[in-house]
Chain A
Amino acid sequence: MSIETHIQLALLIPIIGLVGIVLTGRIPNLREAVTLVTATANAINVWSIFPAIQAGARPSVTLFELLPGLTINFTVEPLGMMFAAIASTLWIVNSIYSIGYMRGNKETSQTRFYACFALSISAAIGIAFAGNLLTLFIFYEILTLSTYPLVTHKGTEDAKRGGRTYLGILIATSIGLQLPAIIWTWNLTGTLDFVPGGTLTGKVQGLSAGLLLALYMYGVGKAALMPIHKWLPAAMVAPTPVSALLHAVAVVKAGVFTVIKIIVYVFGLELITTESATNWLIYAAAITLTLASLIAMNQDNLKRRLAYSTVSQLSYVILGAALGTAMGVVGGGMHIAMHAAGKITLFFCAGAIYVALHKTEISDMKGIGRIMPVTMFCFMIGALSVIGIPPLGGSWSKFLLMVGAADAGFQFIIGVLILSSLLNVAYLMPIPLRGFMLRPPGAGDGPVKVQEAPLACLIAICITAALTVVLFFMAQEIFDFLLPITMTGGGQ
């Protein structure tokens, strides 16, 4: 099969899976088997594109030409390849976890759940491989719509309210800000393609450049740059597998991925570094990542705390892109992968605690490490990775971001990053520490009875926790893979 076929298959396999899931909806075991087979086939297919991209190929498929120059096109480049690989690989793990979680919780409408999940993954891959802004925009909207039923899954008033906030903010910003930015770009350049080195160089400067960047950055609501971040805590009403894969990986990472794509392939790093009117983004990202950490400290609900932590971590990626230096961009790109592994572990653990003990508030989790030792141990690993302590993945991307900040001449950013890491310690570490050090209330003096989450959940948690360690040692490979995107010509 040619690479072009693989690209189309990457979008198609989840859709085929969706049909299979709907058809086998009445037989849960078969339905889950379909999900797992689809997820595996999808991951294998996505990874099969990898070697060619690593060798410098940039395969491209055009499906339709709507109007002259306006196409539905998919072009695979390293960043998109990485994003698609993360999303499709973690989908397998997440499916295993979902089986344990959804059954353990006796959730209803599970067929709709798995079907929407498949559609979301297809949309995420569409975003990853999009060859121009229009294609990206279409899949961006599909991702919003296909995740809405997952957010409101519980069907309670609370879930509906959360869902409305989620949908309202994401749709309003994308149509109200992102789409005008896309049209503006078309008006300036006559193309929407992602071109290495950018298309806007020389076409826009000064205040207009800053304004256009603002339309994009706030228009990509999924990147959760403050004050467009409220949808993410609102989305936490969803079942935890959704929060884990979509609102720690696919959806939010689609947002920051779009940010990097726009800065690298539309604005171009040259324009970003030379045009001082675009520097506001560095400050906006720095403020977001600090403020969100501070807010996270005040959240007692575990998932909400993790959500604010995600808001903060997303701004690391935005910050890297905004710096516009090679190290910054690669560091930001790498942080997509590193944070994905760490944060999905944390969410898995939060879900496991809910399934096993029905606890959602951190203040109720005293001594929980003694009841759920495996879960809490993995939680600690995930937390350490998010904080950025070796030998865990998160340490490399933060290091690169600091180097990038120094290269760009924004030394104070290094201070901001260090402060943020300290805040991360302050809001993440108390959970495992209190979990292991204290005794659970009412447990008496004897040994505490272990009561872990379902096995499927535990397997998934251990896999992602191990992944954070593996990624630490893979950093050089990821770095070499991503570096070409910062070169003129895109390293083809």
Chain B
Amino acid sequence: MSTAASAGFSLMANLPALQVVVPMVAAPICTFLRFRNGPWAFALLVSAATFWISANLLMQVLGGDVISYEMGGWAPPFGIEYRVDTINAFVLLIVSGISLIALPYALRSVEREVPRDKHHLFYAGWLLCLCGMLGITITGDAFNIFVFLEISSLSTYMLLASGRDPRALTAAFQYLVLGTLGATFILIGVGLLYIMTGTLNIADLAERLGPVSDTTSVRAAAAFLTVGIALKFALFPAHFWLPNGYAYSPSAVGVFLSATATKVSIYVLLRFQFTVFGEIPAFADLDFATLLLPFAVVAFLVGSTVAIFQTDLKRLLAWSSIAQIGYMVAGIGLGGVDGLTAGIVHLFNHAITKAALFMAAGAFFLRVGSMHIDRLAGIGKTMPFTTLAFVLSGLSLIGVPTTVGFISKWYLILAALQHGTAGYAIAAMVLASSLLAVMYVWRIVEVAYFRDPAANQEITEAPLSMLLPLWALTIGCFYFGLETGYSVDIARAAAQSLLGVTP
């Protein structure tokens, strides 16, 4: 509880509020910084501050404590409560961490891909998006989630459309339509819950829902929320906005969003499914998470298959993201500590893997000027460091042992094997999907290393400001694949707290 009143303003006690307020206040300030690299430097500074806050918050809750912060001193359930436990502290750290590491990278990419007179708006949008995602994650209030969702969505539409590629406009519009639909569903769900229980506080909701849980209204609320959230994280068959969105937006946006936006939505799903609804059956004795399972399986099979046939590298990566989202949802759908651990740890593992891959793709784009895979012929010779990082991160995407991807899949398969025959089938399909991943990663390797570069091209290695973040993440893919203490332990603790299991 906040002891701010007695000790005056205490920085440490107000960290939960600052986590959201800092980027929120910074965003409008950013629009005034209209000199060269000013908005960028400011956004980087703010990102560093939010990362520091997230890291502190995570350390405070790692022991199993829960921080409950009363916004403006209004006690829950009447006021808005910010509530930090292991799982959302983990997601906060992922989001702010990716923002911090993507910004140094963004400098050169944005210079090239965003018109100069819009830089201040671009970085303001970035900060707003960051603020929205952090807000969704940290808040303990269902309506507040919706509000921050809108903040992050609106700024996402803007970021997606901020590049020079006109196709980005249609992509952003597509996402706008679908995102609005999703947000509306979420709002309806939250409204239904409010009618039934008279509260919006998530912890309070969980308690009051008990007596009315077996009503159609609550089941409808759960259905609206589940579908609405699934639209936001592009679960198959609501995935079609994602490939175009990531492919035609500026590279840095692809890096930032692919690693964070879908992860935050999946966190929201976890929060509603486990903290609020708990064991509420959707249909017969199936809960909603289990109902998502078939979609998740189709997502990773279809996503991986379609990725093989892409001719545009960013679209290939985007389709692979659809597949990877399938893995996360599959883990959640399988349930149990192992399943949830698989889902949650993959939030982190996929964030660093896919961010690294999009960074490499963006670096290729900067130098080659195209994302067409054929144009990347011989890139392994002209941009050796970028290409090597791409291949190594690609191994993580496949799930090769010693990479983070392996850790996720290992838990996912163990979780699947606990479910009898159907589980064996799912495990087999996870492996089949890994084989498909081998094929789409290998396509790039073949083009990059075993074809000769076009003679008239003058391609040089990517700038250091891109290579350093890229390699930091690539090394992370292996470091966290070998030293799993941090990520797996946190994910497991989060899974246990969501399921109410004592470790």
Contact = CB atoms under 8 A, between A and B. Distances in A.
Interface string A123-152: 000000000001001100100000001001
Q: Which 6 A-B pairs have the closest CB atoms?
A: A64-B482, A138-B401, A187-B417, A175-B435, A183-B413, A171-B438
A149 B445 CA distance: 11
A415 interface: no
A137 B434 CA distance: 15
A180 B435 contact: no
A50 B267 CA distance: 54
B368 interface: no
A155 interface: yes
B413 to A, nearest CB: 6
B249 to A, nearest CB: 33
Interface residues of A, number: 23
Specify the main secondary structure of chain A where it touches its partner. helix
Interface string A49-77: 00000000000000010110010100000
Contacts of B407: 66-67
Interface string A151-195: 010010000100000010001100110011001001100000000
Nearest to A134: B401
A64 B484 CA distance: 10
B432 interface: yes
B210 to A, nearest CB: 36
Interface string B378-418: 00000000000000000000001110001100100110010
Given A176-B431, A187-B417, 18 more contacts: A64-B402, A66-B401, A67-B410, A72-B402, A72-B482, A137-B401, A138-B401, A149-B449, A167-B442, A171-B438, A172-B435, A175-B431, A175-B435, A176-B435, A180-B431, A183-B414, A183-B417, A186-B414
B484 A66 contact: yes
B401 A67 contact: no
B318 interface: no
Contacts of B218: none
Nearest to A70: B410
Contacts of A172: 435
B155 to A, nearest CB: 38
B432 A66 contact: no
Contacts of B450: 149, 152, 155, 160
B427 A141 contact: no
Given A66-B482, A67-B407, A138-B401, A176 B414 contact: no
Contacts of A167: 442
B483 interface: yes
A467 to B, nearest CB: 36
Interface string B322-344: 00000000000000000000000
24 contacts: A66-B401, A66-B482, A67-B488, A72-B402, A137-B401, A138-B401, A149-B449, A155-B450, A160-B450, A167-B442, A171-B438, A172-B435, A175-B434, A175-B435, A175-B438, A176-B432, A179-B431, A183-B410, A183-B413, A183-B417, A183-B427, A186-B414, A187-B414, A187-B417
Contacts of B410: 67, 70, 183
A219 to B, nearest CB: 11
Interface residues of B, number: 24
Interface in A22-72: 64, 66-67, 70, 72
Interface of B: 400-402, 406-407, 410, 413-414, 417, 427-428, 431-432, 434-435, 438, 442, 449-450, 481-484, 488
A143 to B, nearest CB: 13
Contacts of A180: 427-428, 431
Contacts of B434: 175
A94 to B, nearest CB: 24
Contacts of A67: 407, 410, 484, 488
A89 to B, nearest CB: 29
Contacts of B413: 183
A176 B481 CA distance: 22
A70 B410 CA distance: 11
Tell which of A149, A160, A172, A179 has the most Cβ of chain B within 10 Å. Answer: A179
Tell which of A149, A167, A183 has the most Cβ of chain B within 10 Å. Answer: A183
A133 to B, nearest CB: 10
B446 to A, nearest CB: 8
B435 A138 contact: no
A72 B450 CA distance: 32
Contacts of B401: 66, 134, 137-138
Contacts of A66: 401-402, 406-407, 481-482, 484
A167 B434 CA distance: 15
B219 to A, nearest CB: 36
A149 B442 CA distance: 13
A187 B414 CA distance: 8
A152 B449 CA distance: 11
A187 B401 CA distance: 17
B403 to A, nearest CB: 10
Nearest to B450: A152
B292 to A, nearest CB: 24
A374 to B, nearest CB: 37
Nearest to A66: B484
A70 to B, nearest CB: 8
B442 A141 contact: no
A85 B115 CA distance: 62
A138 B432 CA distance: 18
Contacts of A64: 402, 482-483
Contacts of A149: 449-450
Nearest to A180: B431
A16 to B, nearest CB: 19
A134 B482 CA distance: 13
Nearest to B435: A175
Contacts of A155: 450
A176 B483 CA distance: 26
A76 B201 CA distance: 59
A21 to B, nearest CB: 16
A64 B442 CA distance: 27
Interface in A69-95: 70, 72
Contacts of B417: 183, 187
A85 to B, nearest CB: 26
B426 to A, nearest CB: 12
Contacts of B432: 176
B441 to A, nearest CB: 11
Contacts of B438: 171, 175
A186 B413 CA distance: 11
A170 B435 CA distance: 12
Contacts of B484: 66-67
A479 to B, nearest CB: 35
A272 B402 CA distance: 32
Contacts of A72: 402, 482
A196 B414 CA distance: 26
B477 to A, nearest CB: 14
Nearest to A63: B482
A66 B485 CA distance: 8
B429 to A, nearest CB: 11
B400 A141 contact: yes
Tell which of B402, B406, B483 has the most Cβ of chain A within 10 Å. Answer: B402
A175 B437 CA distance: 11
B334 to A, nearest CB: 15
A66 B442 CA distance: 26
B341 to A, nearest CB: 10
A160 B417 CA distance: 38
Contacts of B406: 66
A238 to B, nearest CB: 14
